[in-house]
Amino acid sequence: MNELSPATDAVRSLPADWYFDPAIYEAERRQIFARTWQFIGPEQEFQRAGDYRAVQVAGYRLFVIRERSGSLKAFHNICPHRAAPLLTEGDGHCDVLRCRYHGWTFATDGRLMATPNFGEAAWFDKKAHSLVPVRVEVWRGLVFAAIDDRAPPLIEFLGDIPALLEPYPIETFGKLDQAEFAMNCNWKTYTDNFVEGYHIPGIHAGLNAAVDMSRFETTHRRGVVIMKAPQKGGSIYGGLWLWIWPNMTLSVYPDGMNTSRIIPTSEERTELRYEFYFADAASGLNEKRRATIETNCQIVREDFGICEEVQQNLKSGIYRDGPLSPRHEDGVKYFQDMVRASLAQ
């Protein structure tokens, strides 16, 4: 192996202005978020025809709905009349999609059905005003959608993730809870934090006491950063923590897993949507499971504090970039290289 020469091969973080520059955010919207498969949620949220989940990511509003034929469909959440959203963000059920602005109605397969009080016009063709479809695919019980037709098939996009998760029966876990967070920082400020364990001793006293940091490992494979920390005693922390390009996380613990979506809502605002799943979900939440969820949420809150302060310093005009640790920040380097490569396209 070549020895690193600090002068020529220095590994530095992204430039500070990439964390707040509106032009970078716009490029990320189009070149990252439109072109990648976005995790929407577990398929078990779409049991009956008409069940839907409406989401947004970096200014794109989409929804996935179980159609009458039984298949899943996804659409842009934009009425083709004058651009109102058809559904409010979140989960729900509807048999017909009705735009509340002027009352146009659509079938769950996207066809425009009725345009009340629109009037007669020879030039108006209902068939040309269906909802705009988005690609949707399911992998092992997890639903993903992709806006851009040029995104590769989901299984290809997932890179080495299917092989990594093969030993875990993730599709048998049932969702029992969820949690939402919002923070004042760029989505990359939070992601940089998620993909390294270097900060655990400084920021997470509880977690630090529960894992053996001397054996904390961060590696990456195609499309994924993998973090493993041998646990001390029977805590929840043992297992596999994955970050999946560009904005999903999935952590497997002894009797279940959690997923999260890291959602940019503007240059300096990010939301997090966590979902918690357990084996034998019919037995419901018990004290131990609630503690698992609360511990996870506590760690997230600890991360927010530091991420919001880092964001302020990134904006100060003083800091430009910094060196990345070869021992601990391989995940940060991998993520940031993916961002650089995407924006260079």
Which residues lie near ligand FES (CB under 6 A)? Answer: 79, 81-82, 84, 99, 101-104
Nearest of 81, 82, 47, 38 to residue 65 by alpha carbon:
47
Give the integer Cα–Cα distance in Å for 209 and 200: 10
- Residue 307 Cβ, how far from Fe ion at the closest point, in Å? 9
User: What is the separation of C-alpha 146 from the centre of its chain, rounded to a whole number of angstroms?
Assistant: 12
99 contact, one of Fe ion, ligand FES, none, CB 5-8 Å limit per kind = ligand FES
Give the integer Cα–Cα distance in Å for 68 and 107: 9
Query: By CB under 5 A, which span of 106-114, 217-225, 262-270, 300-308 interacts with Fe ion?
Result: 300-308
Give the integer Cα–Cα distance in Å for 273 and 250: 12
Give the integer Cα–Cα distance in Å for 217 and 328: 7
Give the integer Cα–Cα distance in Å for 146 and 166: 23
Closer CB to Fe ion, 143 or 211, in the complex: 211
Contacts of 23 (CB under 8 A, 6+ apart): none
- Residue 82 Cβ, how far from ligand FES at the closest point, in Å? 4
- Residue 276 Cβ, how far from Fe ion at the closest point, in Å? 17
Closer CB to Fe ion, 75 or 216, in the complex: 216
Question: According to the binding rule CB under 5 A, does residue 192 interact with Fe ion?
Answer: no
Closer CB to ligand FES, 99 or 134, in the complex: 99
Closer CB to Fe ion, 77 or 191, in the complex: 191
Closer CB to ligand FES, 10 or 84, in the complex: 84
303 contact, one of ligand FES, Fe ion, none, CB 5-8 Å limit per kind = Fe ion
- Residue 111 Cβ, how far from ligand FES at the closest point, in Å? 15
- Residue 116 Cβ, how far from ligand FES at the closest point, in Å? 9
Closer CB to ligand FES, 82 or 290, in the complex: 82
Give the integer Cα–Cα distance in Å for 28 and 197: 25
84 contact, one of ligand FES, Fe ion, none, CB 5-8 Å limit per kind = ligand FES
| Residues listed for the chain | 345
Query: If you write DSSP's letter for every residue of 231-262 in order, what string do you get?
Result: BSSS-TT-SEEEEETTTEEEEEETTEEEEEEE
Q: How much of the chain is in helix, strand and coil states, percent to nearest 5?
A: 30, 30, 40
Give the integer Cα–Cα distance in Å for 222 and 233: 32
- Residue 75 Cβ, how far from ligand FES at the closest point, in Å? 13
Give the integer Cα–Cα distance in Å for 190 and 220: 18
- Residue 219 Cβ, how far from Fe ion at the closest point, in Å? 18
Question: According to the binding rule CB under 5 A, does residue 303 interact with Fe ion?
Answer: yes
81 contact, one of Fe ion, ligand FES, none, CB 5-8 Å limit per kind = ligand FES
Which positions lie near Fe ion, rule CB under 5 A? Answer: 303
